[in-house]
Amino acid sequence: MNNPNGFRVWLTVALCAGWAILLILFLRRANWPLVVISAILLIAYCVRLYGLTRRE
């Protein structure tokens, strides 16, 4: 994808921030299954954000 839609980029940034906040919240409460799920989704959306914003 050479020219990503600006809305998709900002939506992905918001989702990364949201999963990071949830990850910190679940870490503080020691809810390990949700920590794992949040970490996986945070990594997935960060990879997607990298794919949307990298230059070729």
Checking if the pLDDT of 1 tops 90, the result is no
Task: Compute and round to an integer the Cα radius of gyration of the chain.
Answer: 13
Residue-wise pLDDT for 8-45, tens only, equals: 999 999 999 999 999 999 999 999 999 999 999 999 99
pLDDT value at position 56? 60
Q: What is the pTM of this model?
A: 0.86
Gap between the Cα atoms of 51 and 56, Å rounded: 10
Residue-wise pLDDT for 23-32, tens only, equals: 999 999 999 9
Average pLDDT, the chain: 92
